Amino acid sequence: MSNIKNIFLVGVGGQGTILTSKILSKGFVENGYDVKMAEIHGMSQRGGSVTTQIRYGEKVYSPVIEKGSADIIVAFEKSEALRFLDYLKEDGILVINTQEIYPVTVNIGASKYPNNIIEEYDKVVGKKNVNVIDAYKIAGELGNIKCMNIVLLGALVKMFKLENINWKQIIKDSVPEKAIEMNINAFDKGYEI
């Protein structure tokens, strides 16, 4: 049985997917895990995705998560998980931020944003494994929507019992000094969910 954990993060450009992945990876490294991370930057201006794959454990040989083997998928945008849902393993956990960002094709009327996405996730993944978080709203209440990613990080840390890592110090080391307090508050808010 593998002791490797697989985390798949997906969002669109500007949502902080890469920063969150780097914070997670640094935390796992500092906790003694072998960590591999891969990132793919889509054409976000044209509706493409930004994805990262993080694998950590005793010994990891590849950063690539195979389809059907992700323990966790975190979607920073509500519909983005649809593209990568086949990566989630059978009993995997889906974390969905409720923010909707319309791609160009929706904005020009060439396609429609999918309806009832959460209900579809519930059907495919199973309701108990779908976690819906309005991180965008929480970040807005904190004064800056840009810390939405750290709200999700806080929720993820609590949800998956990753408390034995000094996440706040890693956040402090990873964001500009003027943004430290806001991001620590965002982490705490996410952790409270």
- State the Cα–Cα distance between residues 167 and 157, nearest whole angstrom: 9
pLDDT of 14 higher than 90: no
Would the pLDDT of 96 be above 60? yes
Q: Which two tokens stand for residue 94?
A: 């889906």
pLDDT of residue 44: 54
CB 145 within 8 A of CB 139: yes
Q: What is the pTM of this model?
A: 0.91
pLDDT at 1: 47
Residue 103 predicted with pLDDT over 90: no
Least confident range from 5-9, 42-46, 63-67, 69-73: namely 42-46
The rounded distance, in Å, linking the Cα atoms of 121 and 152 is 18
